[in-house]
Amino acid sequence: MSTATLAQALNTALGDALREDPDVHILGEDVGTLGGVFRITDGLAAEFGPQRCLDTPLAEAGILGTAVGMAMYGLRPVVEMQFDAFAYPAFEQLVSHVAKMRNRTAGKLPLPITIRIPYGGGIGGVEHHSDSSEAYYAHTPGLHVVTPATVADGYGLLRAAIASDDPVVFLEPKRLYWSKDEFAPAPVEPIGRAVVRRQGTSATLLTYGPSLPVCLEAAEAAKAEGWDLSVVDLRSLTPFDDETVCAAVRATGRAVVVHEASGFGGVGAEIAARVMERCFHHLAAPVLRVTGFDIPFPPPMLERHHLPGVDRILDAVARLQWEQ
């Protein structure tokens, strides 16, 4: 089996989707000739032409509004928002039209749009280039929100998103674009399912996207303290896989939610609430969170303090009331 980076897996997924379905079109800033700032669409305009892989003006609301019209006329557009915070000008289109069109038309007009958004920190970017904006989208009914953390999921989840008849916000962890693993294009667990990446018996780390490798590293380091940690990759924030998450938490009786986004009002708060409601009698300690701080994203030389790391995760595990 050959190896590939997450970026290469995403590029392969887009190429295969364009090849197999003439209704699939890609549009966004610099996705054509340049191949995207992260080269995720590299070579696609040359192979499929500028009508299938289209450069747009720097106008995110216009890009997504155009995609809405394309989807209403039967196409299957894939939009690239160049950076996480660049997507905010398109938020009105996303919330008012993309998310609501199926319900507004009594199911007669679904919008099969995939909105790809590079997100998260860890690359030395500044504000507008390092946001973790998943809570805005996960809080909006009518959207699916997914984020791959592995090379295999980069391909499989993106193919599933493009094939979906409902709009999918596809959040790509920028710092994992160059992560590498064995790769063979193949289906993966569907949207709406979490995956247990590491089995353990002491406590369960619940995480997604850029924080998955950090949690796996923390789980290895925890062995020195005598802790055997499970790690659950959520993959899909909406729909949310309560079944897998609750089974993993009930098996250990302790849980920590880890994500880069700010803690207040974040996805981790919703996850902690759901676990507490469904697993209360199985818990030996309150569910804890390790998140980014409640501040605007810091400058590059300080982001290592802001992003959850191994030490902060192990500190949270240590606070899970181990005394009997």
pLDDT for the residue numbered 323: 78
Question: What DSSP state is assigned to residue 117?
Answer: E
Q: What is the mean pLDDT of the chain?
A: 96
Q: Which two tokens stand for residue 182?
A: 């064995």
Host H or E run for residue 291: strand 288-292
Residues 6+ apart with CB under 8 A from 9: 151, 152, 154, 155, 183, 185
Q: Which two tokens stand for residue 129?
A: 């280039």
Q: Are 31 and 207 in contact (CB under 8 A)?
A: no
Catalytic residues: 129
Spatial distance between the Cα atoms of 146 and 121, rounded to a whole number of angstroms: 17
Q: Are 120 and 132 in contact (CB under 8 A)?
A: yes
Spatial distance between the Cα atoms of 179 and 170, rounded to a whole number of angstroms: 18
- Using CA atoms, how far residue 149 sits from 9, 58, 135, 187, 223, in Å, is 12, 28, 18, 15, 23
| pLDDT bracket for residue 126 (50, 70, 90) | confident
pLDDT for the residue numbered 128: 85
pLDDT for the residue numbered 168: 98
Burial 245-261 (b: 16+ CB within 10 A, else e): bbebbbebbbbbbbbbb
Per-residue pLDDT reduced to its tens digit, 20-52: 999 999 999 999 999 999 999 999 999 999 999
DSSP bridge partners of 24 = 76
Per-residue pLDDT reduced to its tens digit, 189-232: 999 999 999 999 999 999 999 999 999 999 999 999 999 999 99
Host H or E run for residue 272: helix 267-279
Spatial distance between the Cα atoms of 321 and 141, rounded to a whole number of angstroms: 36
Spatial distance between the Cα atoms of 58 and 80, rounded to a whole number of angstroms: 12
DSSP output for 158-175: HHHHHH-SS-EEEEEEGG
Mean pLDDT calculated for residue range 101-112 = 96
Q: Which two tokens stand for residue 192?
A: 């709406």
Whether pLDDT at 324 is above 90: no
Spatial distance between the Cα atoms of 26 and 50, rounded to a whole number of angstroms: 9
Per-residue pLDDT reduced to its tens digit, 154-202: 999 999 999 999 999 999 999 999 999 999 999 999 999 999 999 999 9
Mean pLDDT calculated for residue range 246-263 = 98
Whether pLDDT at 233 is above 90: yes
* Model-wide pTM > 0.95: yes
Closest by Cα among 15, 147, 163, 152 to 84 = 147
DSSP bridge partners of 5 = 180
Pairing of strands 236-238, 168-173: unpaired
Per-residue pLDDT reduced to its tens digit, 73-97: 999 999 999 998 899 999 999 999 9
**Coil, strand or helix at 132:** coil
Cα-based angle 16, 119, 290 (whole degrees, multiple of 5): 125
Pairing of strands 203-207, 255-262: parallel
